[in-house]
């Protein structure tokens, strides 16, 4: 495990608010191997974006408390000099966001935004940076990049804008790319194109990738490993196959059952998980998922509501956080 490219240890992120402390991430431990693609799934509010922003260092330090360790290729991101960390953003690690329209500055030409990204990290002339920008646009499949480079974001379609964001993220050859719901804001027809593009580029460059998504189809297509988050915690982690075919935690099973599947494994009916996401200010005692769990009867006593289960081995390269795995009556 120590040679993993990205290693997160007991990450805790909380936001002090007027209503109390929001514990968005509570003790997240995770690792991603070099060149691998990890998918993070989980319902809204489970802490996916906060985790991504903690890795990138995009959380406002004045309004956030962060604890734990994040090692990127051996560099401790939370402990290193902020200036060094800034210089890693956009070069060692890059991120693309959900809404490409609002993520591009409306007043600047896409070319200028790309050129800016190049020149922060590379000591090149404007002309050379422009050439790189055009090449970058070509690489993400934007037709006629010599002309498009002078467009403003509002002159491009949603899919094109997301391609620009991808070009911008990749322009300095980052080793880690984080994509936070890169297709959610796009038309269904365009979603597949963007997914394909990211997979192609990942193959070409060998970039390590973290994809946050609600689309389990995207997960199956792109990811080597899947991490399921719930209430700011990892509740299941494993290879995509293991998690899909042997989900070991009731929440994961519910998640998989709530989407129609083409391969017939769970295709009987749509089955969204009943109940509401847990409060992050006053989380439930014991297992955070227990108030919504349909399988807790299988665990003896009131273990689920009193003791938080550990992340235990559920198979080779597969772990889950559930009392069923240790105490359950099969």
Ligand X SMILES: Nc1ncnc2c1ncn2[C@@H]1O[C@H](COP(=O)(O)OP(=O)(O)OP(=O)(O)O)[C@@H](O)[C@H]1O
Binding-site ranges for another protein (CB under 8 A): 56, 58, 62, 86-91, 94-95, 97, 99, 102-107, 109, 116-117, 120-121, 152, 154, 165, 168-169
**Per-residue contact flags (x/-) with Mg ion for residues 121 to 160, judged by CB under 5 A:** ----------------------------------------
Q: Is 175 in the site for Mg ion (CB under 5 A)?
A: no
Question: DSSP labels for 127-141?
Answer: HHHHHHHHHHHHHTT
For residues 236-255, one letter each, b for 16 or more C-beta atoms within 10 angstroms of the residue's C-beta and e for the rest, the string is: bbbbbebbbeebbbbbbbbb
Query: Considering beta carbons, is residue 136 or 286 the nearer one to another protein?
Result: 136
Specify the 3-state DSSP secondary structure of 318. strand
Report in angstroms how near the CB of residue 318 gets to Mg ion at its nearest. Answer: 25
Q: Is 103 in the site for ligand X (CB under 6 A)?
A: no
Are 42 and 228 within 8 A, CB to CB? yes
Beta carbons within 8 Å of 202's beta carbon, 6+ residues apart: 37, 177, 209, 222
120 binds, among another protein, ligand X, Mg ion, none (CB under 5 to 8 A by kind): another protein
Q: Is 46 in the site for ligand X (CB under 6 A)?
A: yes
Q: Is 49 in the site for Mg ion (CB under 5 A)?
A: yes
Report in angstroms how near the CB of residue 60 gets to ligand X at its nearest. Answer: 7
Number of H helices, E strands in the chain: 13, 12
Specify the 3-state DSSP secondary structure of 169. helix
Residue from 11, 24, 137, 249 binding ligand X (CB under 6 A): 24
Q: Is 15 in the site for ligand X (CB under 6 A)?
A: yes
Q: Is 26 in the site for ligand X (CB under 6 A)?
A: no
Query: Considering beta carbons, is residue 15 or 152 the nearer one to another protein?
Result: 152
Closest to 2 measured CA to CA, from 25, 27, 33: 33
- Per DSSP, what are the bridge partners of residue 212? 40, 180
Written as six digits, the tokens of 90 are 């956009």
Residue from 280, 293, 322, 325 binding ligand X (CB under 6 A): 280
Total residues contacting Mg ion by CB under 5 A comes to 1
Burial (Cβ within 10 Å: 0-12, 13-18, ≥19) of residue 211 = buried
Chain residues in the site for Mg ion (CB under 5 A): 49
Chain residues in the site for ligand X (CB under 6 A): 15, 17, 22, 24, 42, 44-50, 280
């Amino acid at each position: 495990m120590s040679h993993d490219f990205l290693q997160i240890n007991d990450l805790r992120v909380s936001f002090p608010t007027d209503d109390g402390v929001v514990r968005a991430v509570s003790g997240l431990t995770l690792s991603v191997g070099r060149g691998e693609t990890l998918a993070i799934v989980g319902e809204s509010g489970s802490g996916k974006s906060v985790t991504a922003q903690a890795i990138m260092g995009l959380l406002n330090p004045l309004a956030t408390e962060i604890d734990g360790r994040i090692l990127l290729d051996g560099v401790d991101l939370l402990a290193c000099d902020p200036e060094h960390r800034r210089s890693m953003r956009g070069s060692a690690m890059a991120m693309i966001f959900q809404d490409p329209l609002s993520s591009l500055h409306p007043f600047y030409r896409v070319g200028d935004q790309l050129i800016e990204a190049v020149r922060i990290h590379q000591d090149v002339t404007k002309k050379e940076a422009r050439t790189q920008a055009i090449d970058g646009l070509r690489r993400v499949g934007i037709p006629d990049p010599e002309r498009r480079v002078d467009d403003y974001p509002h002159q491009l379609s949603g899919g094109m804008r997301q391609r620009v964001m991808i070009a911008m993220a990749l322009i300095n050859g980052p080793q880690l790319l984080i994509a936070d719901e890169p297709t959610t804001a796009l038309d269904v027809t365009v979603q597949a194109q963007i997914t394909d593009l990211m997979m192609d580029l990942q193959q070409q460059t060998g970039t390590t990738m973290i994809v946050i998504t609600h689309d389990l189809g995207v997960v199956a297509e792109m990811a080597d490993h899947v991490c399921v988050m719930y209430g700011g915690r990892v509740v299941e982690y494993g290879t995509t196959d293991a998690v899909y075919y042997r989900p070991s935690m009731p929440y994961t099973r519910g998640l998989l059952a709530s989407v129609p599947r083409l391969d017939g494994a769970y295709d009987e009916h749509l089955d969204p998980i009943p109940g509401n996401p847990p409060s992050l200010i006053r989380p439930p005692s014991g297992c955070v998922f227990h108030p919504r769990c349909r399988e807790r009867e299988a665990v003896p006593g009131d273990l689920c509501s009193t003791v938080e289960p550990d992340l235990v081995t559920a198979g080779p390269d597969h772990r889950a956080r559930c009392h069923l795995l240790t105490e359950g009556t099969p």
